[in-house]
A = this chain, B = another copy of it.
Amino acid sequence: MPRGNMLIAQSGGPSAVINQSLVGAVMEAKKHADVGKIYGARHGIMGILGEDFIDLRKETSATLENVAATPSSALGSVRQKPTADDCKAMFEIMRRYNVRYFFYIGGNDSAETAHIVNEESERQGVELRCFHIPKTIDNDLRANDHTPGFGSAAKFVALALMGIDLDNRALPGVHISVVMGRNAGFLTAASALARTRPDDGPHLIYLPERAFSSAAFVRDVNAVYKRLGRCVVAVSEGIHDAKGVPMIAKFTNEQDSHGNVQLSGTGALGDLLVAEIKAKTKIKRVRSDTFGYLQRSFPTVVSEIDAREARRVGEEAVRTAIDKNIDGSIAIVRKPGARYGVSFECVPLKNVARDTHEMPASFINKKGNDVTAAFVRYAAPIVGPLPKLTRLKSVSAARIAVG
């Protein structure tokens, strides 16, 4: 491969470990004599089009390591789909800056951007290696067993539900947690990792992979409340009715350029579900929390496995692009067997771009209101160890009769 410069950028929603991928890519690039300058574009393709580049060789290794451990996209992010004209403009800029290697860190929309750039570069005869580096807390990238960012966000969700379940035990009622994840239920499902005993919450989990019925929801909550005197629920922000209309769509019509409806940044869905329970049952204490942006960039809540894998996909993308002179994305593939292990494999961009995948049926219970043991086995090693919380043994004191 001819010597040339490298350009890297971040796109889509931030995560707790997306900077591990950035730093992994930069540290790897430094080992290769074929790589000249290492440009970072600010705010994804917006920064490329605006020639808003920083010189990543000017960052010390110490700074890079500290940035790797810092949540949210250090280069800034964007949600923007490039047009053919954008690509033409970017190629002119890349030619001028002698960019031969292009890396784009993000989810399915970012993979689509990398795919578009790659296809256009081939069509226009531009010599460019295009790589997508996976990141999404939604865990919905095709070709991947799981994605960098998911493990840490899932750890946040599991910890949150551990705390909320204890809180709800202390002051019983119904509590509804609204969790991110768009059309994939993985992150909401991770709330199940909060459970260690049979009566631990969440007692009900609603995922976008199943049509949401308000009537069934009210019935389910009432049944749990009758049995336990309380009920903790985890609900995906992406739940929708039988026609596929997101419940949240009743409140918003904001969309990004990839056509995604804005699901986060509002408590409306939680409040709607609270109102439903209050209207249809006699339960008085009904509360909702929407985890919002906390779950994707909360400092100190990081899965170690997730951080390591995020670093590796960055390294592998650069190594593969340079050594093999090909385009693609790095996918995390799970090794079979009881012991957790993964391999990192190069897959074509079209295999991860745009379309997403959802939870397999084997991870969802028949009633569509909980996950299965198979899901817990799948997710637990990605999240890593959780704190052991303890309850009192609570030996009832001997009653002392009147008299």
Number of copies: 2
| Segment 57-74 of A: residues with Cβ below 8 Å from B | 58-60, 63, 66-67, 69-74
Could you list some 8 contacts between A and B, CB below 8 A? A14-B167, A39-B397, A54-B396, A67-B392, A73-B170, A264-B287, A267-B270, A300-B387
**Distance between A327 CB and nearest chain B CB, rounded to angstroms:** 24
- Chain A binding surface, main DSSP class: loop
Q: A63-B392, A287-B292, A400-B96 are in contact. Are A298 and B170 (CB under 8 A)?
A: no
**Distance between A190 CB and nearest chain B CB, rounded to angstroms:** 15
| Segment 27-81 of A: residues with Cβ below 8 Å from B | 37, 39-40, 42-43, 51-56, 58-60, 63, 66-67, 69-79
The residues of B that contact A270 with a CB separation of less than 8 Å are 266-267
Q: A290-B267, A292-B287, A293-B175 are in contact. Are A71 and B298 (CB under 8 A)?
A: no
The residues of B that contact A53 with a CB separation of less than 8 Å are 396-397
| Segment 75-97 of A: residues with Cβ below 8 Å from B | 75-79, 96-97
Q: Are B70 and A166 in contact (CB under 8 A)?
A: yes
Residue in B54, B170, B175, B267 whose CB lies within 8 Å of A267 = B267
The residues of B that contact A39 with a CB separation of less than 8 Å are 397
How many Å lie between the Cα of A206 and that of B287 in the bound state?
A: 24
The residues of B that contact A166 with a CB separation of less than 8 Å are 14, 70-72, 297
Residue in B69, B266, B291 whose CB lies within 8 Å of A288 = B266
Q: Which residue of B lies closest to A268 (CB)?
A: B271
| Segment 248-273 of A: residues with Cβ below 8 Å from B | 264-268, 270-271
The residues of B that contact A96 with a CB separation of less than 8 Å are 400-402
Tell yes or no: A159 within 8 A of B by CB: yes
Q: Are B171 and A78 in contact (CB under 8 A)?
A: yes
The residues of B that contact A392 with a CB separation of less than 8 Å are 40, 54, 56, 59, 63, 67, 74-75
Q: A70-B390, A391-B74 are in contact. Are A287 and B265 (CB under 8 A)?
A: yes
**Distance between A147 CB and nearest chain B CB, rounded to angstroms:** 18
Interchain residue pairs A-B with the least CB separation, the first 8: A267-B267, A265-B287, A72-B166, A66-B390, A289-B292, A163-B297, A53-B397, A73-B170
Tell yes or no: A296 within 8 A of B by CB: yes
Q: Are A296 and B54 in contact (CB under 8 A)?
A: no
| Segment 359-403 of A: residues with Cβ below 8 Å from B | 386-402
Q: Which residue of B lies closest to A289 (CB)?
A: B292
How many Å lie between the Cα of A294 and that of B294 in the bound state?
A: 10
How many Å lie between the Cα of A368 and that of B37 in the bound state?
A: 48
**Distance between A180 CB and nearest chain B CB, rounded to angstroms:** 11
Q: Are B76 and A159 in contact (CB under 8 A)?
A: no
Tell yes or no: A211 within 8 A of B by CB: no
